[in-house]
Amino acid sequence: MKNKVLKSENGIKEFSKLSHWKMSFVGMILILFGFSQVADATDFVVDKVASKVNWEAKKVTGKHDGSISFDNGTVAVTANKISGGTFVINMKSMVDEDIKDADMNKKLMGHLSSDDFFSIEKFPESKMVIKTVTPVSGTEFHFVADLTIKGVTNPVEFDANVTLTGDKLEAKGVITVNRTLFGIKYGSGSFFQGLGDKVIYDDFTLAFNVVAQKK
């Protein structure tokens, strides 16, 4: 009789362990499934024709400005909000738009393409990867991203106005970049003395209007 009771008690314990394991396993599956459902993002592909990036660089005696184009880009959207993204810029697409004289324009672009500035032959692409997105107010969001220029990566922060209408996403904002952080020190008053009116300011801006379509 005693043996039967022990077997019964052992059976109950084994059943309890098995039930607990099954419940734990089911719970884990539900958690993982639920997490995957929440984490699922929809990709929006950057429209390279509709998207625009305008750059502006200033010096003591004036400024230069122009445009540059995307090579490719993808924006991740989760719960109708940007949750990530990667953008690749084609450095060879950079043009100056303020100098109308063809020879002077060519001279400037040659200098910007050289090792004094962007070393475009060596580094034909620049890249930005979104790390975090924080709501500010309404359609305005604060972005933290990793920006890579000339093979050097540094964080940048900026605000952008984002609208999502059906299968179309649009984001507008301005990014301020300190070029010296990427090893571009030519004409910088922060590193060279006695430049006088030849000083080129460290910061340049990228005003962007990104248009992306749902993949």
Task: With 0.85 as the threshold, say if the pTM is over it.
Answer: no
**How many domains would you assign to the chain?**
2
Q: Is 105 found in the same domain as 67?
A: yes
Q: Is 62 found in the same domain as 32?
A: no
**C-beta of residue 127 within 8 angstroms of C-beta of residue 89:** yes
Full residue range of the structural domain in which residue 10 is found: 1-40
Q: Is 71 found in the same domain as 111?
A: yes
Q: Is 176 found in the same domain as 100?
A: yes
Q: Is 92 found in the same domain as 3?
A: no
Tens-binned pLDDT, residue by residue, of the chain (215 aa): 544 444 445 554 554 454 454 445 545 544 445 444 445 889 999 999 999 999 999 999 999 999 999 999 999 999 999 999 999 999 999 999 999 999 999 999 999 999 999 999 999 999 999 999 999 999 999 999 999 999 999 999 999 999 999 999 999 999 999 999 999 999 999 999 899 989 999 999 999 999 999 98
**C-beta of residue 7 within 8 angstroms of C-beta of residue 15:** no
Contacts of residues 160-166 at CB distance under 8 Å and 24 or more positions apart, as own/partner, are 160/208, 162/81, 162/82, 163/139, 164/77, 164/80, 166/214
The strand pairing partners of 162, in sequence order, are: 171
